[in-house]
Amino acid sequence: MRNFILLSIILAGSYWGYQKWNASETLPNEDNSVKTVVSGEDASPLVEAQMVQQPPNIVPLQEQPSTSLSSRDKEILILRSELANVEPDSDLFSNLSLELSKLLLNSERPESIGEARGILRTLSQGDPAQPNRDLANELLLQESSGADQLTIAQSIFEKGAQTPGFGFAAEILSENLNQDTSAGAFQSWDLLSKAYVAAPDLETKTPIRIKLWNLVNTWIFSSKSFPEVCKTVTVVSGDSLSVIAQRHKSSVDAIKLLNGLRNDVIHPQQRLKILSGKVHVEVDKSDFRLDLFIDGRWLMGFPVGHGRSDKVTPALDYVVGVMQKKPMWQPRDGRAPIAHGVEGNPLGERWIGFKDGETFGLGIHGTEDPDSIGSMCSEGCVRLRNEDVITLYPWIRSGTPVSIRE
């Protein structure tokens, strides 16, 4: 009797296990059919199989108990089912195809990634008016390499800065230029600057900025000839640095910096490197960054601090007015001015003041508290470390535009 009971339990357990196994091997689609899924570690859960009619008592997919399929795989199956019932030429079909390709790319299975690339190529070659064509190209750019990636990058770049993937395309194109020549370095500088402006966040900007710093230091802040950007002038009798700076719309400090001059003394026949152009400054409050551009190309950038919560730095467009070295500070509350170097003067080594407009007394300055950089710390001004504001100062002139953005 005991053996009979034990045998009954074993048989009942086996039947229950078979039923559970069989249930996990079929998944219903929205059209009341089920798709058989291959089991095993080496088998893809997305292998196409024979479709059979779903019995009325099958539980819908969203109500199924947890199976061996991941949530992503279930989403893929649902999208496949929806695509089967949508007109291929419709916007909905395009939207669903794009979403399916994203899920397939994230699956990390080679066969799924290959399928995704095929879908994206089809979308990218579709009607030019199709809204997902550019988005498909952007994904293809990230997934491709070599000559294919270069072709896609060129196609995206030619469509302009508003095209999805424009920044990355510009970066890819720059990497395929010979930066050992001045012509290649100039084109790369231009492309990387466009990539930097197009980058959506600080994380994306950081590696581009490193490339820009290396290029600028190699070709501009060096003795190398860079005729595409920098003039070379010969000093004549009667010249002074101030005269040359005015003649070429530069500054004495900038000329000294570019040519490694320790003082203002120059002599006839001396050759000087001059970089001039239209300068503008952009401050991104959310990233705590200041960037300086010359003729639209990135020249330098630094971390900043700005106004605390009760002294918010207004996000407006400004124009530089007064500039001072070793500035005195005039408190806004009517107290007596505080000289440079005296405790209580927050302006550091340089003051770059904005012309009075909607605001009063705002500007860019150094600080004796470098630990405050990267935070909301000032009474409304933009502050830099002293060494950074000293580097920035030579490139600013009265009338330089400054844009502060949230």
Rounded to whole angstroms, how far apart are CA atoms 194 and 182?
18
340 catalytic residue (yes or no): no
Annotated catalytic residue within 230, 248, 340, 381: 381
Rounded to whole angstroms, how far apart are CA atoms 169 and 155?
9
The residue with tokens 């030619």 is: 158
The 3 state secondary structure assigned to the chain is CHHHHHHHHHHHHHHHHHHHHHHHCEEECCCCEEEECCCCCCCCCCCCCCEEECCCCCCCHHHCCCCCCCHHHHHHHHHHHHHCCCCCCCHHHHHHHHHHHHHHHHCCCHHHHHHHHHHHHHHHCCCCCCCHHHHHHHHHHHHCCHHHHHHHHHHHHHCCCCCCCHHHHHHHHHHCCCCCCHHHHHHHHHHHHHHHHHCCCHHHHHHHHHHHHHHHHHHCCCCCCCCCCCEEEECCCCCCHHHHHHHCCCCHHHHHHHHCCCCCCCCCCCEEEECCCCEEEEEECCCCEEEEEECCEEEEEEECEEECCCCCCCCCEEEEEEEEECCCECCCCCCCCECCCCCCCCCCCEEEEECCCCCCCCEEECCCCHHHCCCEEECCCEECCHHHHHHHHHHCCCCCEEEEEC
381 catalytic residue (yes or no): yes
Task: For residue 70, give Cα distances in angstroms to 23, 62, 64, 106, 140.
Answer: 16, 13, 13, 12, 25
Q: Quickly count: other Cβ atoms within 10 Å of residue 394's Cβ.
A: 18
Judge whether 320 and 396 are in contact, CB under 8 Å. Answer: yes
Annotated catalytic residue within 248, 280, 365, 377: 365
Catalytic sites, residue numbers? 365, 381
